[in-house]
Chains A and B, each alone.
Chain A
């Protein structure tokens, strides 16, 4: 095993549901070379705040195409966006209706209940 790195990344994450006044929460996440932004978001859900709403399925194959978000202002698949040490801002897609936190309504209209 490689020596655990003491570096961290700081995730600056937009929170809040549709109709609420949103805010940002900061999470310090252990950094290791090669991690994705989705890895960091999943780490936050498992070890810091499980109420964070995120959407993903295939984890890192970039096959399901459901993990889109704004990463540092750019639309990215969080599963292939590399985590870098320092501050990373993650926000929901701006042009899709917000559901909660990072989850927007990207489901085709006729697939919603």
Chain B
């Protein structure tokens, strides 16, 4: 069995993982950067056609304190304020650093151009034209990573278990998809940067490879998860007509740059009916917009594909082209002429506010186990401000990489062969005994996605959540009976099986947390508990105890006066 050894293992090579690898390597330690897909080409970062929120103050006066205020307001009282402050304080540094490394932020009049986005009090969001932020920053980081000899990159290597002995993470077991074999990895520190859980949902805006593995790996390793009930549903994901070659969440910048109208199936503006002031301003926060659209659908006022219309017919072609240039042609190639027809949009799973519980050094309660990027929970509370996700990927990635590197300099490498053997034997068991089943893991994944959309989607009830939970637990028991194919190279059935195993663990965490939060707050909307309950102004923390999820409730981490950011 192949064995790899490194100082710092980074799992997931999107924005956070690549930034972590760079930061660690800059401090002189060796890094192994692995990704289930191809390094720098998977995950959420590369899909982000949108904007990055940072208080640069270049477009108009802004401050870190104001960015933090907006972030905390969106978070509905549940943010870990220390993590939020870290995000806001370090964002400008990271964005300028990316500029030095070659990212061409859109500029005007000699400064970085910043746009308004929903929930922000000033023009704060920078981007790369045209709708190219994610691919551009991913390219910058890929180049930077490839220039650093201390970083070894491995593509198509999926971590399936973190090795922990005596409370210290010391490596991982991974599946080499290309060869089909398991690999052991020895590391002095492990950074989980494998993103969120959008793949759990039938309607989602993400890449194929984020099934909540980071959360499951953390749980199994003994770390804690926080705020798992808070899944963000992007309100205006593209539903119809079929659109290829574009990110389904591309419409937000269209809407706030040009003022697209949101109309229900009867062509009426409706968001104002749900306690926001969208009319003419187009800045309703995401949770309110998602709620409003689905309520209209429920009342029989939806569009043919179960969403709302987004209408730009009042905008001239010249204005459309001025703002989005070549994108207009890509839309026309898809048969979409915005001057003639509205498009259909609706909520889809987009981001996860919850995640792995870490301290300000991004370390979990397991020594040497860190998290970065979307995998981290807490910075965004009950709802994330638009534009904060890429900022978080860079800031937390850099922080995790630097902190892990500082720590491993003082550590001897340890290796417990027994822990590795135990983990591998467990997988071998499921594989040998049961590969004769008829159901394939990908079919179970499709079932789970439908179950989560219907049972734990944007609107939740106790009854639907309990039914979903019951089926999830049953599917966990059925895991060992699934057919994982014959041993061969690029066996996707086997990868699907490991993915499903993690998806089910994460789904259980989401649904149990959603059941226990008997109130509506931010992205968590309970139809049976429509109001917020001040008694629940607390974070739910999950941990495995005797192989069962155990929940505790904690007061949110608040900033002390002396911690307040400057500037």
Contacts and interface: CB of A to CB of B under 8 A. Distances in A.
B178 A112 contact: yes
Interface in B412-433: none
Max chain B C-beta neighbours (<10 A), residue from A46, A55, A58? A58
Interface string A15-46: 00110000000000000111110000000011
B157 interface: yes
Interface of B: 2, 37-39, 41-43, 46-47, 49, 134-135, 146, 153-157, 176, 178-179, 183, 207-209, 241-248, 304-305, 334-335, 440-443, 446, 485-486, 488-493, 496
A50 to B, nearest CB: 4
B11 to A, nearest CB: 15
Contacts of B442: 45-46, 50
Contact of B38 (A32, A53, A57, A79): A57
B90 to A, nearest CB: 26
Contact of B178 (A61, A82, A108, A113): A113
A17 B493 CA distance: 16
Given A50-B440, A63-B46, 11 more contacts: A34-B334, A45-B442, A50-B441, A50-B443, A57-B43, A59-B208, A64-B46, A100-B490, A111-B38, A112-B155, A113-B156
Nearest to A61: B247
Nearest to B49: A61
A24 B418 CA distance: 45
A36 B489 CA distance: 26
Contacts, number: 129
Contacts of A57: 37-38, 41-43, 46, 207-209
Contacts of A107: 38, 155-156, 178
A19 B94 CA distance: 47
A50 B488 CA distance: 13
A2 B245 contact: no
Interface in A40-82: 45-47, 50-66, 79-80, 82
A113 B304 contact: no
Given A60-B245, A64-B46, A1 B304 contact: yes
A13 interface: no
A51 B485 contact: yes
Nearest to A49: B440
A93 interface: no
B490 A61 contact: no
- Secondary structure dominating the interface of A: loop
Contacts of A50: 440-443, 485, 492-493, 496
A36 to B, nearest CB: 5
A44 to B, nearest CB: 11
A30 B46 CA distance: 30
A80 B245 contact: yes
A74 B176 CA distance: 30
B264 to A, nearest CB: 17
Contacts of B492: 45, 50-54
A106 B39 CA distance: 12
A113 B244 contact: no
Contacts of B39: 111
Contact of B489 (A54, A61, A100): A100
B485 A64 contact: no
Contacts of A108: 146, 155
A63 B47 contact: yes
A99 interface: yes
A103 B493 CA distance: 14
A14 B65 CA distance: 58
Q: 8 nearest interchain CB pairs?
A: A34-B242, A50-B440, A111-B155, A53-B490, A57-B42, A64-B41, A62-B245, A80-B245
A53 B247 CA distance: 24
Given A33-B242, A61-B245, A99 B490 contact: yes
B38 A64 contact: yes
A80 B244 CA distance: 6
A63 B489 contact: no
B176 A63 contact: no
A55 B495 CA distance: 12
A83 to B, nearest CB: 10
Contact of A46 (B42, B248, B305, B443): B443
12 contacts: A46-B443, A51-B485, A55-B490, A57-B41, A57-B46, A62-B244, A66-B37, A80-B244, A108-B146, A112-B178, A113-B156, A113-B179
